Amino acid sequence: MGIATVAVYSDADRDALHVALADEAYRIGPAPPSQSYLDGERLIACARTAGAEAIHPGYGFLAENAAFARSVVAAGLTWIGPHADAIAAMGDKLRARQAMRDANVPTVPGGTEAIVDVAGARAAAERYGLPLALKAAAGGGGKGLRVATSMEELASALESARREAQAYFKNDTIYAEHYLENPKHVELQVLADKHGNVVHVGDRDCSLQRRHQKLWEETPAHIPDRMREAMREAGVRAAQAIGYDSVGTVECLVSGDAFYFLEMNTRIQVEHTITEMVSGLDLVREQIRVAAGEPLGYGQNEISFRGFSIEGRVNAEDPAAQFRPAPGTITAYREPGGLGIRVDSAAYAGWTIPPDYDSLIAKLIVWAPTRENAIARMRRALDEYVVEGVPTTLPLLRALCDHPAVADASYGTATLEPFAATLRPEAGSQPHLPVSMPRVTSHRTAPRLGATRKRTNSSDSDDVRSPMHGLVIELAVAKGDAVSEGQVVAVIEAMKMMNEIRAHRAGVVSAVHAGAGSSVENGSPLVTILRPSTGSG
């Protein structure tokens, strides 16, 4: 488009790839997001210094912040996104649910009021049934979401959801809805301009998730055509109801022969790439055009879809250790290539992945004329992809290519995590070849995840150690406390995930080695637990 780009970066991102690729780059502060990427005033000041005309908020942080959008416009800059009132309408999930009901779009059974205490959570569970999802009203992307499967779990689920919502969105308002146990998560891409034109750009199946966050996405979704048409109509109707004027996504849950509105993301999404592959539209380009006031220039009938596309998210996580974040230095990196292969990446050999932000480091996207060929192309690309130095989700993505539920597209949101658990190495097992090794036969199935590893918190050790580098958000025990096996002793934030660290055995806390607000390294002792005395008799 001939537009010069200005990158911003925190101290943690000084060596990030986007900084090197941009025409200009400006430091905006230290690593903590509140002092850099979430500091709206600093971002606007930077734009003025650089002489920029517009601000694109990217995928997260301030992308769905109505106050920041208003500040950008007030500063005389162009906001590349929907108008602030649309962000506000959809950003508060309680308001969004009510708006969709008013627009006659079906919603998941649940409330439109905040859950303020455990009594409120119990009332919601009795009204909507268990399992109950407790969700951040200001949330999205699986952040601030906890599921209680029993009345006894409500208190801890509510507290955990609040804690993560406050940390990620600075808003701990929680609401409740019935948790559908294994639905399909299907979303509709919408595109609208400032002249009243609204179109959809197809649908995506994003059901393969861990921690309620997507890992594998594909388009088109494997749903009945009648449901597809109804969902597309509802998505366009939802966008029209709030006067939407940018790229956005209407997310739905599909259960049986019904679909329900889940939320609307008022931004470009990570998985927009697969929609681009089947539609031929550059959605970021369209987003910029619309922000500049240009009309779409085409109608629904002029958008056509061709073939199938799949995206696999390459995250710096260890699937063999329940998807623990794994920041560190990439020692070797090689991307796949060839017809129908696209890689959007922030990674390179020698890059040290910081622990301060999301674990996503690259996206592998494939396209083929048929779904079967797309999966085969994904399988081949994953066999060629090399990332060394840190564990990643590459082996799991490779294993998914051979999963029967992926082959027939029958998977739901509860498919991935149990499947990943079956691939983890058992104690005493021998290491398997990494998935990045070349194939020596015409076909081989994916290896088990990971290799033989020493457990961080062995039952023979007195110490509960941190399984990752991160920030201690909460220390739940004190010296002298009696704890039971499996009890939460600390909560550590790493790569924007809240990780509950549990006692590996029952006993008494004899020492505390860390405190709330302190940084810890992988393997650092958090607390020491001594076995309870059995007495002299």
Does 455 have pLDDT greater than 50? no
User: What Å distances lie between residue 284 and 80, 268, 271, 305, 308, CA to CA?
Assistant: 9, 7, 12, 18, 20
Among 26-40, 42-56, 376-390, 485-499, where is mean pLDDT lowest? 485-499
Q: Binning pLDDT at 50, 70 and 90, where does residue 496 land?
A: low
Whether 437 shows a pLDDT value over 50: the answer reads no
pLDDT the model gives residue 489: 92
Distance CA 221, CA 218 (A): 7
Task: Go through the domains of the chain in sequence order and give each one's CATH number.
Answer: 6-87 (3.40.50.20), 109-178 (3.30.1490.20), 184-422 (3.30.470.20), 463-530 (2.40.50.100)
Phi, psi of 376 (to 5 degrees): -60, -40
Report whether pLDDT(374) > 50: yes
User: What is the per-residue pLDDT for 509?
Assistant: 95
Q: What pLDDT does 493 receive?
A: 79
**Residue 491: pLDDT over 80:** yes
pLDDT over 90 percentage in the chain: 72
Q: Is the pLDDT of residue 459 over 70?
A: no
Quote the mean pLDDT of the chain. 90
Q: Is the pTM of this model over 0.95?
A: no
Residue 152 has pLDDT above 80, yes or no: yes
pLDDT (0 to 100) of residue 447? 47
Does the pLDDT value for residue 505 go beyond 80?
A: yes
**Phi/psi at 113 (nearest 5 deg)?**
-120, 155
Confidence of residue 454 (pLDDT cuts 50, 70, 90): very low
Collect all residues with Cβ–Cβ distance below 8 Å to 217 and sequence separation of at least 6: 204, 205, 206, 208, 271, 274, 310, 311
**172-222 tens-digit pLDDT:** 999 999 998 899 999 999 999 999 999 999 999 999 999 888 999 999 999
Give residue 143's pLDDT band: very low, low, confident or very high (50, 70, 90): confident
Cα dihedral 127, 131, 136, 142 sign: negative
Write the Ramachandran bin of 133: left for phi over 0, alpha for psi from -120 to 50, otherwise beta: beta
- pLDDT (tens digit, 9 = 90+) per residue, 246-276? 999 999 999 988 999 988 999 999 999 999 9
pLDDT at 141 > cutoff 70: no
Among 520, 384, 382, residue whose Cα is nearest residue 463:
520
pLDDT category of residue 78 using cuts at 50, 70 and 90: very high
Least Cα distance to 279 among 343, 391, 189 occurs for 189
Instruction: Band the pLDDT of 58: cuts 50, 70, 90.
Output: very high
